[in-house]
Structure 1
Amino acid sequence: MADKFDAAIGKRLRQLRTERGLTQTQLGDMLDVSFQQIQKYEKGTNRIGSGRLWVISRLLNAPITYFFEDLEEVQQIAEPEPVGDGRLSRDSVQLARALNELADGEVKSQVAKLIKAIAKAEHS
C-alpha cells in the first residue's frame, strides 16, 4: 500500500516527467533504473530516496521543493480517528470481519444500521 506522501511525490514526478516530454523508459535510462521502477515511484509504491530525488530534480531542471508542494494538503486529508484508545476488542474485530464478508447492498446496510441502533440504545 502506498504511503500518501510517497504517492503525492510520485504524482508530482509523473507530472514533471510528462511536462518534460519524457517516457518512463527515458527517465529510467537517465537514472539507470528500469521503467518499472519509475512506475513504482510514480504510484508511490516505492519511496524515492532523498539522494535520488535530488538527482531527479537536477535532471528534470526543477527545484527540489517542487516535489513537496501541496504536501500540507495531503497531511490534512481526513484519517479515521481511533475510538477510545484505538484498540478494538476481539468481538468488535470479529463483528467487523463478518460484516465485511456480506455483499454490499441492502442487507449489509440494514445490518450496519441495526448494530448502530443497538449501540445507541445501549448508551442512552
Structure 2
Amino acid sequence: MATSLGSNRPALTRVDRDAAAVHALVRKTAHEEALVTDWDEVSDSVQRVNVRWSPEHPFYIEGGQFRALLFTESLRQALALLTHDVHQVPLGHRLGWEHISLAVNAGALSTTDGGTTSPSSSTTPP
C-alpha cells in the first residue's frame, strides 16, 4: 500500500483513482476539463503526472496548435492533485500561486500527430 509523503494516510492507488476522484483533486467538475489521467510516485521526492491533451478542445486550440495556456492549466492541475493527494492539504483549503512564468517550445504544441498528445511531467519539491 502506498502512503502519501509526510502522512500515515494511504495515498490513492491506481485502483482507487476513478474519474470522479481525479476531477475532485484537480478541482474540475466537467469531465472534459480534467487533463490529468494518472500519476505515480517515482521516488520519495519525485512524482510523475500524466495528462491528456485533446486536439478537439476549442479553447486550447488555435491555428493547428495547442495554446501555451494548455500547458499552464496542465501544470496547475498537477500541482492541485499533488497538493491534495501527496501532501494531504484538504480539498476545502484554497490553493493559490502568486506567480508563474513559463516558456514553451512552440514546436511541441503541434496538434498534427493525428490523435491525442499525452505529455508527462515530473515535479520535485524545493
Asked whether the two chains share a fold, i.e. TM above 0.5, the reply is no
Structure with the largest fraction of strand: 2
> Higher helix fraction: Structure 1 or Structure 2?
1
Instruction: Normalising by structure 1, report the TM-score.
Output: 0.22
TM-score for both structures, normalised by structure 2: 0.22
Instruction: Name which one, 1 or 2, has greater alpha-carbon Rg.
Output: 1
- Tell me: higher relative CO, structure 1 or 2? Use CA pairs within 8 A at least 6 residues apart: 2
